[in-house]
Structure 1
Amino acid sequence: MDLREQTVLITGASRGVGEELARAFVKEGANVIINYYKSKEKAEALANELGDKALALQADVRNQQEVFRIVEEAKLYFKTPVTTVVNNALIDFEFNPLTQKNAFELGWDDFTKQFEGTIHGALNSIQACLGDMKEFGFGRIINIGTNLFQNPVVAYHEYTTAKAALVGFTRNMAKELGAYGITVNMMSGGLLKQTDASKVTTEEVFQIIESSTPLQKVTSPRELADVALFFASPWGRAITGQNLVVDGGLVMD
């Protein structure tokens, strides 16, 4: 299915990577649901800027009923089911090396919050769209990971552990859903320059990444969004269960 025929749910789409994902898909002609949790003004401003191909809808991805509700609202608005899901939402986390809890300070609640946002949130968004995808015989699911579980430049324990679990989640979903024409992939960009979550990252950390990376630069949110377009496009039709690291070669997997 061409991108211009797709309706795309992007979770956490009001800013940062999500905003670039929304812009990229709309530019290619897709319908886009700009999901947001708290950033109402930013989400609605982005939707207004992007025009009638974009719709801002509030839902906490951890709440199944709310996610199912916005999918139904979007179907009525666009008059077509959701064909593509990009699980991007990040719950209450900043990439701040100065305030990150160390191994002595971490609590289990820190981990469960990230598991709820990353795994539970992805499960809710997939299940909200799965029936229509199966009936349609087509679906594209793209999970946003990180290269930090392969190369922890900073030990962001709870965030990185949840994203590592997302690899297993991705591959199990790919195994089961392939029979319905649904692909499930993950793309991992590491620390990006710059998002709302990484604006507090110190310049020293970015310098470490730049000096260690073959391309000698930090990946941008737009460069990551380009890969999402590839996975969703006909060019990516034979790829599923993969974690594509998009970081300029810092991690070679």
Structure 2
Amino acid sequence: MNQPQNTPRIALVTGAASGIGRAIAERLAIDAHAVVCIVDRDAQGARDAAEHIAGQGGSAHPFCADMADAQAIQAMLGEVRNQVGAPDMVVNCAGVAPTAPVLEHSMSQWQSTLDINVTAPFLIVQQCLADMKRKGWGRIVNIASISGVRAGSGRLAYGTSKAALIALTRQFAVEAAEWGVTVNAVAPGPVETPLIKKMAGGDSTSTYANLVPMNRFGTPDEIAHAVLFLLSEQASYITGETLAVDGGFLASGLFVRNLFEGAPRASGAATDSH
């Protein structure tokens, strides 16, 4: 990532104690030389991630906040500004993914999913945008999901929240564009994290991988590299976009593996013009 200034950029990453969020935080600190604010409801996990980054020669600061609590989010943002500074880059990665049949989704599941997956990013982006506007530069990436683009079994609250996050990304992008701020989303497919494996049903992960043309789950680092591109100067003219990092899942449509194995092959050119 190119650095358009002498001082390191300040990056805030939520859900950064583990999984995709941690991979993003590590790549930002080590590869992009950013000062990373690691935000997670797991205080010890955030400290461990920050210590690991420091051990690799990067700079990171842990912060604890429950993304379902608007007041806790406001307090965390105040601490970040006071202790580190106003973020130049924000990655909203924290999320929850309850799965249940549509007739069994509870109101509490629905509300908490929207609070964490949509309202928290709204609050964080809105608060950080004012400083980015003043500076004339900013990068925001929201971690959405292929479930926000294509519906799936058991994902009533989750899929709806991720679709809303993609729409939120576009809304912010339109108004922030003239301020030198880009706002984009990344939509991961199945990724090797505990959360995604839980959604995939544990032992049924091979079934989910079989739906992906690449025939495998992605890795947190593969998502992180896509995020770093959207945070970089190389992506300065990209905003309001949702980049699928999914092994070809969204592109595949009706995907049948081994469709042609054992099937008779056509010999010669077809003569029927219809």
**TM > 0.5 between the two?**
yes
Match for residue 29 of structure 2 among 26, 32, 38: 26
Matches of 1:82 and 1:228 in 2, distance apart? 16
What is the aligned partner in structure 1 of residue 224 from structure 2? 225
Structure 2 residue 83 is matched with structure 1 residue 82: no
Any unmatched runs of 5+ in structure 2? 253-274
Matches of 1:107 and 1:74 in 2, distance apart? 34
Structure 2 residue 34 is matched with structure 1 residue 36: no
C-alpha displacement at 1:43, in angstroms?
A: 1.1
What is the aligned partner in structure 2 of residue 197 from structure 1? 195
| Amino acid paired to 1:170 | T
> Contact conserved, 1:75 with 1:82, CA < 8 A, in 2?
yes
Matches of 1:199 and 1:155 in 2, distance apart? 14
| Amino acid paired to 1:20 | A
Matches of 1:102 and 1:65 in 2, distance apart? 32
Which stretch shifts more, 243-252 or 69-78?
69-78
Match for residue 11 of structure 1 among 9, 14, 28: 14
> Contact conserved, 1:67 with 1:128, CA < 8 A, in 2?
no
Q: 1:207 to 1:141 in 2, by over 3 A?
A: same
C-alpha displacement at 1:2, in angstroms?
A: 2.2
Structure 2 residue 185 is matched with structure 1 residue 176: no
- Secondary structure at 1:206 match in 2: helix
Matches of 1:153 and 1:118 in 2, distance apart? 17
Matches of 1:49 and 1:131 in 2, distance apart? 31
C-alpha displacement at 1:203, in angstroms?
A: 5.2
| Amino acid paired to 1:128 | Q
Question: Where in structure 2 are the equivalents of 1:121-132 lying within 5 Å?
Answer: 121-132=120-131
- Secondary structure at 1:187 match in 2: strand
> Contact conserved, 2:148 with 2:161, CA < 8 A, in 1?
no
Greater length-normalized contact order (CA 8 Å, ≥ 6 residues apart): 1
Which stretch shifts more, 196-205 or 210-219?
196-205
C-alpha displacement at 1:83, in angstroms?
A: 0.5
Q: What TM-score do the two structures reach when normalised by structure 1?
A: 0.88
| Amino acid paired to 2:242 | N
Q: 1:222 to 1:205 in 2, by over 3 A?
A: same
What is the aligned partner in structure 2 of residue 155 from structure 1? 154
- Secondary structure at 2:104 match in 1: coil
Paired-residue identity, %:
27
C-alpha displacement at 1:218, in angstroms?
A: 1.2
> Contact conserved, 2:15 with 2:93, CA < 8 A, in 1?
yes
C-alpha displacement at 1:180, in angstroms?
A: 0.8
What is the aligned partner in structure 1 of residue 247 from structure 2? 248
What is the aligned partner in structure 2 of residue 2 from structure 1? 3
Q: 1:149 to 1:132 in 2, by over 3 A?
A: closer
Q: What TM-score do the two structures reach when normalised by structure 2?
A: 0.82
Matches of 2:197 and 2:46 in 1, distance apart? 19
> Contact conserved, 1:153 with 1:205, CA < 8 A, in 2?
no
CA-to-partner distance for each residue in 1:6-64, whole Å, 9 max, x for gaps? 21111111111111111111112111111011x11111111112126100011223434
Matches of 2:75 and 2:88 in 1, distance apart? 16
Q: 1:189 to 1:169 in 2, by over 3 A?
A: same
Count of residue correspondences: 244
C-alpha displacement at 1:152, in angstroms?
A: 4.0
Matches of 1:152 and 1:167 in 2, distance apart? 14
> Contact conserved, 1:83 with 1:138, CA < 8 A, in 2?
yes
- Secondary structure at 1:57 match in 2: strand
| Amino acid paired to 1:198 | I
| Amino acid paired to 1:17 | I
What is the aligned partner in structure 2 of residue 97 from structure 1? none
Rg larger in structure = 2
